Amino acid sequence: MFQHSHALAPMLRKLMRWAPLDEADQRAVLALPYAIRTLSRTGYVVRDGSAPTHSCVLLSGYAFRQKLIANGCRQILAIHIPGDIVDLQNSFLDRADHNVQVFTGAELAMVPVEAVRDIAFRRSAVGLALWRETLVDGSIQRQWTANVGQRNARERTSHFLCECGYRLEFAGLGHRARFNLPMTQEDMADALGLTPVHINRTLMSLDRDGLTTRRRNSMVIHDWDALATIADFDPGYLHPENDAKVIPVAVTGIATFP
Amino acid sequence: MFQHSHALAPMLRKLMRWAPLDEADQRAVLALPYAIRTLSRTGYVVRDGSAPTHSCVLLSGYAFRQKLIANGCRQILAIHIPGDIVDLQNSFLDRADHNVQVFTGAELAMVPVEAVRDIAFRRSAVGLALWRETLVDGSIQRQWTANVGQRNARERTSHFLCECGYRLEFAGLGHRARFNLPMTQEDMADALGLTPVHINRTLMSLDRDGLTTRRRNSMVIHDWDALATIADFDPGYLHPENDAKVIPVAVTGIATFP
DNA sequence: CGTAAAATTGACTGACTTCAAATTCGGTGG
DNA sequence: CCACCGAATTTGAAGTCAGTCAATTTTACG
């Protein structure tokens, strides 16, 4: 019944983190109508001000939320990894209040908003899981605000790296101390409210101190605990303990995707 | 049927902004079980890490969300005004990821989380309204992040003042250019990621330029348009146009509360 | 290879912080 | 009504973290 490489399987896996879904719920999630869309580098998934027509599940690649300020500055608000539902925020409101873009090329499953609304209110377990997904996104956003508002460049950058690593590992997409990070230093600067030059100096300083190594688009953290201490990183805000832990065999098979 | 000064009326008024509720829905909202709780200055509504037992509707006074950082700093994440449901975020998750406190003394209606979950999933219109309430909170949080991350002290402070004024007016609690703001400059500093000294200099500069006047706990904005221009304030992120605009006569009567 | 984008480096600047002291405010009790 | 006291605000001077500007090097990729 469950196809091991069903496009929506990563989404299902994620939803089952937030609420236990019975077999009918799971089937209903996988039966959601969708269309695959491929976007190239910096392609827009959602534009600020547009009326939402689809909810997008990120299948491969990385995406980010972003807001443009009058003075031309850009604030990157969140990073998304495969399995994330990239614009649930917008799907239940009239119009998008921010942009969503992909970093590198990415594949998305586009689900019509009507179908999402329908499943959310017809199947309360799925609805709860979806709601929690948006609430955890909100929690990450609060942490991000605190990070930008109260920490210095070194702490801020460290926290960002810890969050990326932890979330990727939590999603089953790699190891927290060794992961792919396809952003430029300019992107990172816009995410952390710093300048590219200062991000560069900060990253180099972490490298010099033996905490990290950067190569290409990949990040290696040599001393996770030390970095987490600098960052004051506590994964509680990601609500990992909410994990329903009821992942049936048929679905765990897709955990390696992609 | 509708009591004009029912404690939950401000909450109902707010929910009807986000989705049209039929008479049965409205009755169900007002029939939610609750207990009134009075908190004095800086009292805690929710503590970081605690398991939620109630969702709290702010009836009078102002509240704020807050996170403490290892270095002792505090980031104020959001301000809440009467009618706001102060911890929906926490109610659907296992444990709170931030603190909620009141500024001055405040009155809250404490609704058991089970009752909220029940109404949310039994009455889909109410559920949608509650969900949207949390989504708009998320949108405000994104704006807050962008504000702290990308704007200078003057723009940041102006944006904060515009948001306060606009939201109070939108909630029917006053005029955008003349409102009560019972925070110290230290609070404001923690909200905007600045130091109290610099907030002071910034506020004085706005005063000196004839844009604002501060008296006691009140704020007067003399030139809203000028302040909004400095702030790059666009109320779209508050999703005012989502207003269901179907406010029945019986309920509008309470718009003057408190 | 050649080229454009990204990363790195250096010198200088400035917005905001820090520290510390003075002043005003707001509530309270004599 | 006024004197008092702690909290909040205001002021000044000096310091710093991060920004700016501009040039150079490295990397990615056709």
Structure confidence at residue A242 (pLDDT) = 65
Which of B73, B95, B138 lies at the smallest CB-CB distance from A134?
B138
Which of B69, B89, B242 lies at the smallest CB-CB distance from A150?
B69
Structure confidence at residue B4 (pLDDT) = 55
Residues B117 and B161 in one domain: no
Residues A96 and A207 in one domain: no
Q: How confident is the model at residue B105 (pLDDT cuts 50, 70, 90)?
A: confident
Residue A2 to residue A47: CA distance in whole angstroms: 34
- Compute the mean pLDDT over every residue in chain A, rounded to the nearest whole number: 90
Give the mean model confidence (pLDDT) for residues A113-135. 94
Q: Is the CB of B208 under 7 A from strand C?
A: no
Give the mean model confidence (pLDDT) for residues B130-149. 97
Residue B181 lies in a domain: yes
> Which residue intervals of chain A are DSSP H helices?
9-18, 23-30, 88-91, 113-122, 124-150, 153-170, 185-192, 196-208, 224-231, 249-252
Structure confidence at residue A251 (pLDDT) = 35
Residue B255 to residue B6: CA distance in whole angstroms: 11
Q: Which domain holds residue A212?
A: 152-231
- Compute the mean pLDDT over every residue in chain B, rounded to the nearest whole number: 90
Structure confidence at residue A245 (pLDDT) = 46
> Which residue intervals of B123-195 are DSSP H helices?
124-150, 153-170, 185-192
Residues A104 and A24 in one domain: yes
Residues B20 and B91 in one domain: yes
Residue A28 lies in a domain: yes
Residue B78 to residue B84: CA distance in whole angstroms: 11
The distance of Cα A157 from the centroid of its chain, to the nearest Å, equals: 17
Residues B70 and B122 in one domain: yes
Percent of chain A with pLDDT over 90: 81
Structure confidence at residue B243 (pLDDT) = 55
Within 8 A by CB and 6+ apart from A195, the residues are A189
Structure confidence at residue B104 (pLDDT) = 86
Residues B113 and B59 in one domain: yes
pLDDT tens-digit map of B13-59: 999 999 999 999 999 999 999 999 999 888 899 999 999 999 999 99
Residues A15 and A116 in one domain: yes
- Domain tally for chain B? 2
Residue A159 to residue A166: CA distance in whole angstroms: 10
Residues B122 and B164 in one domain: no
Which of B134, B161, B187 is the last residue before a domain boundary?
Answer: B134
For helices B153-170 and B185-192, the axis angle rounded to 10 degrees is 100
Residue A177 lies in a domain: yes
Instruction: Kindly report the bases of strand C lying within 7 A of a protein C-beta atom.
Output: 5-11, 15-20, 25-26
Within 8 A by CB and 6+ apart from B62, the residues are B79, B80, B81, B102, B103, B104, B106, B182, B183
Q: Is the CB of B185 under 7 A from strand D?
A: yes
**Tokens in use for B94?**
């296992």
Burial class (CB in 10 A: 0-12, 13-18, 19+), B144: buried
Q: Is the CB of B155 under 7 A from strand D?
A: no
Q: Over 70: is that where the pLDDT of A165 sits?
A: yes
**B223-257: string of b/e by CB count within 10 Å (b at 16+)?**
ebebbbebbbbebebbbeebeeeeeeeebeebeeb
Residues B108 and B33 in one domain: yes
- Is residue B17 less than 8 Å (CB to CB) from chain A? no
pLDDT tens-digit map of A11-69: 999 999 999 999 999 999 999 999 999 998 888 999 999 999 999 999 999 999 999 99
Give the mean model confidence (pLDDT) for residues B50-72. 94
CA torsion, ordered B151, B152, B155, B156, to nearest 10 deg: 70
Residues A72 and A22 in one domain: yes
Structure confidence at residue B49 (pLDDT) = 92
Longest Cα separation, chain B: 54
Q: How many CB pairs under 8 A join A and B?
A: 145
Residue B171 lies in a domain: yes
Residue B256 lies in a domain: no
Residue A20 to residue A9: CA distance in whole angstroms: 15
Give the mean model confidence (pLDDT) for residues B178-190. 95
Q: Report which residue type is found at A252.
A: T
Residue A224 lies in a domain: yes
Which of B79, B102, B134 is the last residue before a domain boundary?
Answer: B134
**Tokens in use for B99?**
């603190």
Residues of A whose CB is below 8 A from B75: 145-146, 149-150
CATH number at residue A185: 1.10.10.10
Contact of A94 with B241, CB cutoff 8 Å: yes
Structure confidence at residue A243 (pLDDT) = 55
Q: For chain A, how far is it from start to end, CA to CA, in angstroms?
A: 20
Residue A242 lies in a domain: no
Residues B126 and B156 in one domain: no
Residue A153 to residue A16: CA distance in whole angstroms: 36
Residues of B whose CB is below 8 A from A242: 93-94
Lowest mean pLDDT among A88-92, A178-182, B216-220: A88-92
Q: How confident is the model at residue B67 (pLDDT cuts 50, 70, 90)?
A: very high
**Tokens in use for A36?**
């695959």
Q: Which of A28, A32, A31, A26 is nearest to A13 (CA)?
A: A26
pLDDT tens-digit map of A199-247: 999 999 999 999 999 988 899 999 999 999 999 999 999 998 765 544 3
Residue A195 lies in a domain: yes
Residues B120 and B37 in one domain: yes
Structure confidence at residue B244 (pLDDT) = 52
Structure confidence at residue A193 (pLDDT) = 97
Structure confidence at residue A91 (pLDDT) = 84
Q: Is the CB of A41 under 7 A from strand C?
A: no
Q: Is the CB of A155 under 7 A from strand C?
A: no
- Is residue B193 less than 8 Å (CB to CB) from chain A? yes
CATH number at residue B25: 2.60.120.10
